[in-house]
Amino acid sequence: MRYIALLRGINVGRKNRIKMADLINIFESMGFKDVKTYLQSGNVIFNHDSIDTVKTARDIEKNITQTFGFEVNLIIRNEDELENIINGNPFIKESNIEIDKLHVTFLQERPETEIIQNLDINKDINEKFEVIDKEVYLYCPNGYARTKLTNNVFEKKLKTKATTRNWKTTNKLLQISKNK
């Protein structure tokens, strides 16, 4: 099966630097096949026969910590899940939506229903977000760099780890995954 690993917090600024060739080597040393990366920010596509994604993510995190000396959070989705995430974006067909202002925050775990129902996040007037399953769909018309809808906010409010990708990257990861 084809999987997509989303690492949070590598190659941003000057800290937590990992060359993509080194990241590929880690995945290949763990027995994953057809390993590819996209961009320098920790997007890895790989094959594996049978996988417990939570355990595998923890094993990869541990291997990265041992190899590079710093901790990262990693979230895994399979190809079908990623396709469903893309097809399930509630904002994509709305009028006046700028596609380049869409993002997806991938959550490590599905938040409890009560937490989602009581979610109170201060956002700008035109910003939108919706939590569906283990994703938060974002529309940030002023840009992600200016939003208050950050990974840290969602992690704190939803009580789980998170990492965000823009809409272009999310779609490109699926494209790469399908072009085995």
Task: Tell me, yes or no, if the two domains 2-78 and 82-178 fold the same way.
Answer: yes
Domain segments of the chain as ranges: 2-78, 82-178
Strand partners, 46: 3
The pTM for the full model equals 0.94
Query: Comparing C-alpha atoms, which of 31, 26, 40, 36 is closest to residue 4?
Result: 36
Give the pLDDT confidence score for residue 136 in this predicted structure: 98
State pLDDT tens for residues 37-89: 998 778 999 999 877 899 999 999 999 999 998 899 999 999 999 999 999 99
What's the CATH architecture for 82-178? 2-Layer Sandwich (3.30)
- Class assignment of domain 2-78? alpha beta
- Three-state DSSP at 51 gives coil
Pick from 136, 141, 149: nearest CA to 97: 141
Q: Which of 149, 4, 48 is nearest to 91 (CA)?
A: 149
Residue the block writes with tokens 């049978």: 50
CB 134 within 8 A of CB 110: yes
Q: Which of 10, 160, 178 is nearest to 82 (CA)?
A: 178
**Residue pLDDT, tens place only, 91-148:** 998 999 999 999 999 999 999 999 999 998 988 889 999 999 999 999 999 999 999 9
CB 23 within 8 A of CB 11: no
